[in-house]
Amino acid sequence: MVRAIRRLPDYRRWPVGMRCGLAVAIVLATALLRLLLPVMGLPYLIFIPVLMVAGFMLGFGPGALATSSPCWWRASSSSANPTALS
């Protein structure tokens, strides 16, 4: 496992803008996946591993941006339909 992690490219050497863009792209891809899959019980549980990987691989700043991205998505989707709970 440790060897596999060491073989991954060092994304933390990339410019901050590229890392933040990658973090937002990963979250948007996960949101699209969440919309395509049927919701069973905990609709936002799919974001937890994605956010952990984004924080670990991309650093603190992009990880924090990725963590706040689902909050923006939730706020924008709930304002359109205030009675929707999931």
Model-wide pTM > 0.85: no
Please report whether residue 11 resides in a domain. Answer: no
Q: What is the pLDDT of residues 10-69, one digit of tens each?
A: 777 778 888 888 888 998 898 888 888 887 777 778 888 888 888 888 888 888 888 887
pLDDT of residue 59: 86
Number of domains in the chain: 1
Please report whether residue 22 resides in a domain. Answer: yes
Which two three-digit tokens encode residue 41? 């019980």
Please report whether residue 20 resides in a domain. Answer: yes
